Amino acid sequence: MADDYIRLLLLGDVIGKPGRRAVKRFLSARRAEPLAPHLIIANGENAAHGFGLTEKIVNEFLSMGIDIISGGNHTFDKKEIFDFIDNYPNVLRPANYPPGTGGQGVYVADVNGFRIAVLSLLGRVFMEPLASPFLTADQIVSDLAGHADAVIVDFHAEATAEKVAMGWYLDGRVAAVVGTHTHVQTADERILPGGLAYITDIGCCGPLNGVIGMELRGVFRRLVEQLPSRLEIAGGPAAVNGVTITIDPGTGKAVSIVRESFKESEGDFQDDTEAAGDDDGEC
């Protein structure tokens, strides 16, 4: 790829302290590479002990070199977010929340004069009954005309079909639609005919030895014993999952999408399994 192309690194849902620890290690190496990303985007809705986001963790992410933090259905799990989200325009919540909701759903970043808009949307199938993400995307993409040279969509959704539909729906109008939320990286990355980079889910950044990041005992209590249980972050090594998308600044379209994966090994870290309520930042 020509070196004047724009490279974006998008990281899946970062889960608690283990996820942040692995992301920090991964980015310290990734940012030093000759073809380092120009812009780094991470989904942060699970960053504070698996549920929500704190201001301390926002600043921890920014210190790692993460430029934009996207959201999802757990964005507002920590009530303190209402005290700071309006001070961080690069911390997104889904754009299809009702008018008047704190924060914003889109952010435009400047990369060497090339304007990249990142749009956060929440799906509706098996999720909260928000405004249509499709119609919300229509309106925002239209509003961005003349204000952004490329648009990247983080579609935080449960249903595969809804994500696939969004990719085809926006093909030719935005540069990428990447799925988040299900925490398992899919192998269906592709460039659609209109120049849109698509993947159903970019995966998560979190513990390997759990159920989508959560400790086994609590999950088994819910699924096997059918009893209520508090879910805690799993211990052990963590993984980082995401994608690198390359955009041609001449067209604003994607020319490649490549899956990223990094795994800690056993003994490669100090086990810092969190106690409930203790994880307010600093991995």
pLDDT recorded at residue 280: 59
Distance CA 251, CA 149 (A): 8
C-alpha–C-alpha distance, residues 259 and 123, integer Å? 23
Structure tokens at 42: 């991470």
Q: What is the pLDDT of residue 265?
A: 85
Angle at 60 between CA 54 and CA 66, to 5 degrees: 110
pLDDT of residue 2: 53
Question: What ranges do the domains of the chain cover?
Answer: 6-263
Give the domain 6-263 fold.
Purple Acid Phosphatase; chain A, domain 2 (3.60.21)
User: Can you tell me whether residue 139 is helix, strand or coil?
Assistant: helix
Helix H, strand E, coil C: the string for 221-247 is HHHCCCCCCCCCECCCCEEEEEEEEEE
Specify the pairing of strand 68-70 against strand 39-43: parallel
Residues assigned a catalytic role? 74
Interhelix angle for 133-143 vs 160-170, to 10°? Answer: 30
CA geometry: angle 264, 23, 258, nearest 5 deg: 90
Per-residue pLDDT of the chain (283 residues; tens, 9 = 90+): 457 899 999 999 999 999 999 999 999 999 889 889 999 999 999 999 999 999 999 999 999 999 999 999 999 999 999 999 999 999 999 999 999 999 999 999 999 999 999 999 999 999 999 999 999 999 999 999 999 999 999 999 999 999 999 999 999 999 999 999 999 999 999 999 999 999 999 999 999 999 999 999 999 999 999 999 999 999 999 999 999 999 999 999 999 999 999 999 876 666 555 443 446 565 5
**pLDDT tens by residue, 22-66:** 999 999 999 889 889 999 999 999 999 999 999 999 999 999 999
**Strand partners for 214:** 211, 233
Task: Answer whether 0.85 is exceeded by the pTM.
Answer: yes
183-219: pLDDT as tens digits: 999 999 999 999 999 999 999 999 999 999 999 999 9
The alpha carbons of the chain give a radius of gyration, in whole angstroms, of 18
Here the tokens at position 136 are 């919300």
